[in-house]
Amino acid sequence: MKFNTKVIHGGQHHDPSTGAVMPPVYQTSTYVQTSPGQPLGDYEYSRAANPTRTALENALASIENGTRGLAFSSGLAATDCILRGFKAGDEVIAMDDLYGGTYRMFSRIYKDSGIKFHFVDMTDIAKLKSLINENTKLIWVETPTNPLMKLADIQEISKITKEHKIWLAVDNTFATPYLQKPLDLGADIVMHSATKYLGGHSDVIAGALIVKDEALGEQLHFQQFATGATLGPMDSFLVLRGIKTLSLRVQRHCENGEKVVEYLTKHPKIKTVYYPGLPSHPFHEIAKKQMKGFGGMVSFTFNSGKKEDSIAFLEKLKVFTLAESLGGVESLANHPALMTHASIPADKRAEVGITDDLVRLSVGIEDAEDLIADLEQALA
């Protein structure tokens, strides 16, 4: 199947008991057994597996070209599941420009576990290689990054990880499998905050892991089962419903994103626009190589460099909604330093380039003319 067909039919089957076209919401915790240890069907207890969640997990594996998909209660729960496989003395190399929640987990939750984390600019391949040693177990890549839209060359990094027998995990939340397929480029694990583009309607919190190696999939499933961060059946239904329209939505996000970027790059009050589709973007060629399109996420700064200007702009928006999160059908605006990345220390934010005047937009699927008119009145 091609992608547009996969999001609707990939890994999916009509309900065998009723013929329902959409998988029913199996709102049950347990399943009957005919004899001790002999379940009537394939399910025993919903923390281990639930038919609605299984339908979603099969769809996730299909759209990322993996063999196993796992659905979690959030993107951070999915990330945490990977780290559960490591022990004191192991080392992780991570992108320096990360989602604030990922950085918080790495630097604070696991700070006393004995796992050592290195944060590095993944575009500096020589620096990346210099940090690898016998204790390195994982390289964590986010591309494009949140919020500065930096890119990492997944294929080049995968050559390094395969040479050293290290896992490569890619946060594919911003790009979605419609635009980028990390497993095909050599990654071992793909992570999604399914809250964002996969769900697509700002009505669910969910996470996902997808792998190609079946043994790795079994290991991650055991870690998920043993720690319990699974996705409930109703939330699984909502994400699966969102995936059905992923292609159409992301196409529109990309179209609108490009129009918003064109407007912002010409505005006299705007200093820098961060968008991988711009020829001036330092990693534009990488984006062209590994992405089908450039997405709907845009960040920018002001010529004045003043935090007050960014706050005043955000307070005046009427069509864009000032809120955390991204990837929904509605356009959202965010101040990273005060909102999504506030948990990162100010000196670290400054080090990677998250300034106090930086604004991040999640461009939705409304009429582009209305979005631009809203930006115009807020900047006036």
pLDDT in tens, 173-185: 999 999 999 999 9
Tell me how far apart the alpha carbons of residues 318 and 349 are, in angstroms, rounded to a whole number. 28
Note whether 35 and 54 are same-domain residues: yes
Residue 17 has pLDDT above 90, yes or no: no
Q: Domains in the chain: how many in total? A: 2
Note whether 352 and 205 are same-domain residues: no
Note whether 52 and 175 are same-domain residues: yes
Whether 141 and 90 have beta carbons less than 8 Å apart is answered as no
By residue range, what is the domain housing residue 310?
247-379
Tens digit of each residue's pLDDT (9 = 90 or more) over 98-119: 999 999 999 999 989 999 999 9
Residue 64 has pLDDT above 90, yes or no: yes
Q: Which of 37-41, 199-203, 248-252, 355-359 has the lowest mean pLDDT?
A: 37-41
Helix axes 307-316, 368-379, angle to 10 degrees: 130
Note whether 318 and 198 are same-domain residues: no
Whether 301 and 272 have beta carbons less than 8 Å apart is answered as yes
Amino acid at 49: A
Whole-structure pTM over 0.85, yes or no?
yes
Note whether 270 and 229 are same-domain residues: no
Note whether 156 and 290 are same-domain residues: no
In the structure encoding, which two tokens stand for residue 308, read together? Answer: 């007050």
Radius of gyration for the alpha carbons in the chain, expressed in angstroms and rounded: 21
Closest to 292 measured CA to CA, from 211, 145, 175, 147 = 175
Instruction: Find all residues with CB under 8 Å of 340, minimum gap 6, and list them.
Output: 99, 100, 101, 146, 147, 324, 334, 360
Note whether 237 and 350 are same-domain residues: no
Note whether 289 and 374 are same-domain residues: yes
Cα distances (Å, whole numbers) of residue 245 to 7, 60, 120: 7, 14, 36
Note whether 62 and 173 are same-domain residues: yes
Asked which of 215, 242, 269 is the last residue of a domain, the reply is 242
Given CA atoms 209, 214, 220, 224 in this order, what sign does their dihedral have? positive
pLDDT of residue 16: 87
Cα distances (Å, whole numbers) of residue 198 to 216, 232, 242, 302: 23, 16, 6, 31
Catalytic residue numbers, as ranges: 47, 99, 171, 196
> Residue 259 burial (CB < 10 Å; 0-12/13-18/19+)?
middle
Note whether 325 and 228 are same-domain residues: no
Find the CATH number of the domain harbouring 323: 3.90.1150.10
Helix (H, G, I), strand (E, B) or coil at 207: strand
Asked which of 224, 242, 260 is the last residue of a domain, the reply is 242
Note whether 228 and 283 are same-domain residues: no
